[in-house]
Structures are given as structure tokens and as C-alpha cells.
Amino acid sequence: MDKSLLNFISQAYMDRNLQRQIAYTRKSLFDQGYLDEQFIQLEDLQDDANPNFVEEIVTLFYSDSARLIRNIEQALENNPTDFDRLDDFMHQFKGSSSSIGAKKVKSECTQFREYCKAGNAEGCIRTFQQVKQEHATLRRKLETYFQLARQSDV
């Protein structure tokens, strides 16, 4: 068999494996409850004119949410019983999370807001740690997914 044919077959095999890996990674994000149907709606908006649309939206989410996390941390440190202010920040965070389909993050935001309504500072502090953990976990998982997708585009 000639070398160029072997290279072609080898490349086709690697491409197929990469596509499988991308599909598995994406499916696991939904199966494990990290993403919901809103993420699919974002994907539907992506096209040839803007092939990185979803990744760009997620990047914007993470830069905006980093600011919100800092605001919430400062509010919890300075006045952990200013529940109206905490709830306002978390309302923004929840809206941003919802807009990209960050299901687990959104769920933790909802719990945080319930603790605000109940006037439970300890619950807010504890749940905020969960919000940050889910936020970081999703970020790592999405970075892996987008990295694989970029390899596929090469």
C-alpha cells in the first residue's frame, strides 16, 4: 500500500475517533446534568458565518460571572446579612447561567436565593461554595469540549 493512502486512512481513523470523543464529551455534559436545552439553542444559532459563537458566548459568561463572584464574595465578607443585595447579585448570576444552559450552576443559584429569602446567612455562605464549585467544574468540562471541537476544525 502506498504511503499517501496509509496516511489518508490513518487520518480518517483519527478524525472519526475525535468526532466520537467530541460527541461523548458533549453527551456527558447533558447526561451528568451540567447543561440543559438552552445550550442546544445556542448551538442552533452557530453557523458558518460565526463558527465559534457558542464558545464566545461561554467566554463572555465566564468573564461576567467572575465579576459577579467577586461582588458576592465582598458582600458576604462585608455584610452577610444584606440579603437584598446578595439576592440581587445572585439573580444576575442565575440569569447569566440560565442563558448558557448551565443547569447545575443555575440550580445552586436558586438554592442560594432561597436562603436569602429565608434570611439564612450560613446557608448562603455554604451554598455559595457549591455555586463556585459547580461553576469551576463546568468551566473545566466546557474547556475540554471546546478544545476537542477546535481540533476537529483544524
Instruction: Give the list of residues 6+ apart from residue 33 with CB closer than 8 angstroms, or none.
Output: 103, 104
Per-residue pLDDT at 12 = 57
pLDDT at residue number 100? 98
In eight-state DSSP terms, residue 34 is S
Q: Which of 72, 74, 63 is nearest to 100 (CA)?
A: 63
What is the Cα–Cα distance from 22 to 145, expressed in whole angstroms? 7
Q: What is the pLDDT of residues 4-35, one digit of tens each?
A: 655 555 565 567 888 999 999 999 999 999 99
Q: Looking at the predicted structure, is the pLDDT value of residue 46 above 60? A: yes
Residue 16 has a CB neighbour count (10 Å cut-off) of: 10
> pLDDT (tens digit, 9 = 90+) per residue, 49-86?
999 999 999 999 999 999 999 999 999 999 989 999 99
Instruction: For the chain, give the mean pLDDT.
Output: 92
Pairwise CA distance, residues 103 & 35, whole Å? 5
pLDDT at 13: 54
Q: In this predicted structure, what is the pLDDT of residue 4?
A: 67
Q: What is the pLDDT of residue 14?
A: 65
Which residue segments constitute the domains of the chain, with CATH numbers given? Answer: 3-153 (1.20.120.160)
pLDDT in tens, 85-131: 999 999 999 999 999 999 999 999 999 999 999 999 999 999 999 99
pLDDT of residue 152: 83
